[in-house]
Structure 1
Amino acid sequence: MLRIKGTIGDWPVDLSVEMDDADWARLAQNLPTVAVAPSAQVAAQPAAAGPADKLWLAAQDLLRRSGSVEGPELMDELEALAGSTGAAKGLLVRLRHSPKVKIEVRDGVQVFNWVEE
């Protein structure tokens, strides 16, 4: 589920959107692509994987190698990886909803933790 809170002009917005794996895949296809240094996990993927898939795998690998990262720091790293704030936000949302990631709040800051299955 994706939750969007904010305002449009003076109107408050609180919107929840449920997305299945196919929806996430379509969203990922629209993310900008950048060249990414291959890691063992990315290199092990089939050659048919598209650029958005490789970016998603690289984002997962980044968190997996770190083990645990505070949200603002992770956002900075994803922005450097993806090449734009918008693409980084998309990756952050995907990580937030991944079964391999657990989020805890420490002193008001979200901490993303990689959880091996």
Structure 2
Amino acid sequence: MLRIKGTIGDWPVDLTVEMDDADWARLAQNLPTAAVARAAPAAVSSGPADQLWLAAQDLLRRSGSIEGPQLMNELEALAGSAGAAKGLLVRLRHSPKVKIEVREGVQVFNWAEE
């Protein structure tokens, strides 16, 4: 699920969009492919967006636990842009393999897959 809040002119907007895996895959197709080539493991033979998603999961899996701002910085380096990093962060936030807790007002992403 993706929530969009803001305004269009003077009109308030609060929109919730439900997305399944196929929707995320279509959205991820627009991520930069140069970043994928730098970050994705060579053994993975799926598409560039899938490779970037796998690399983002691997980053969190290897760290085990990481604060949101630091994770965002690492995802931006991985993906090559802030926009792509935000998309990966949202996708991680909604992944069943990730648990989020708040410590001293900061979101902490924890790899929770068993």
* Structure 2 residue 95 is matched with structure 1 residue 98: yes
Q: TM-score, normalised by structure 2?
A: 0.89
Q: How many angstroms apart in 2 are the aligned matches of 1:78 and 1:89? A: 8
Cα RMSD, aligned residues only: 1.5
Q: Tell me, which stretches of 5 or more residues in structure 2 are unaligned?
A: none
In structure 1, runs of 5+ residues without a counterpart are: none
How does 1:34-113 map onto structure 2 within 5 Å?
34=35, 35-38=37-40, 42-45=41-44, 47=45, 49-113=46-110
One-letter amino acid matched to 2:6:
G
3-state SS in 2 of match to 1:112: strand
Report SS of the residue matched to 2:32.
Answer: coil
Aligned residues: 112
d(CA) in 2 for partners of 1:16, 1:98: 17
- More deviation, 74-83/107-116: 107-116
Structure 1 stretches of at least 4 aligned residues deviating more than 6 Å after TM superposition: none
Asked if 1 retains the 8 angstrom alpha-carbon contact of 2:99 and 2:110, the reply is yes
2:39 corresponds to 1:20? no
